[in-house]
Amino acid sequence: MIEKKFTTLSIMITIGITAVIILAVFQNFIFADEVWYGMNCEQLKELALSPEHRNFTEQQHMEFHKVLQPCIEGDQ
């Protein structure tokens, strides 16, 4: 009986760890190209003026400006 509970617990822990790893990989895959992910408006504006901004791909540039636009509109 105790062995069965231990085995069940081990399986649940293994599944939990696997789920965390999958979520971490998935999150990195989705946001890998979005270096601005999690930045506040001030940081976004600094990034817009930085040399790194010029190295964005066309797709990254378009996505970045979608995120930046509300910050710019909030200043007006």
Domain ranges of the chain: 1-32, 35-76
> Beta-carbon neighbour count of residue 60 at 10 Å?
15
Query: What integer pLDDT is reported at residue 48 of this predicted model?
Result: 92
The DSSP symbol for 56 reads: -
Query: What integer pLDDT is reported at residue 9 of this predicted model?
Result: 83
Q: Dihedral angle at the C-alpha atoms of 56, 40, 63, 72, nearest 10 degrees?
A: -100
> Beta-carbon neighbour count of residue 48 at 10 Å?
15
pTM of the model: 0.53
Per-residue pLDDT of the chain (76 residues; tens, 9 = 90+): 567 777 888 888 888 888 777 766 665 555 556 778 889 999 999 999 998 888 888 888 899 999 999 998 886 4
CB 47 within 8 A of CB 39: yes
CB 35 within 8 A of CB 52: yes
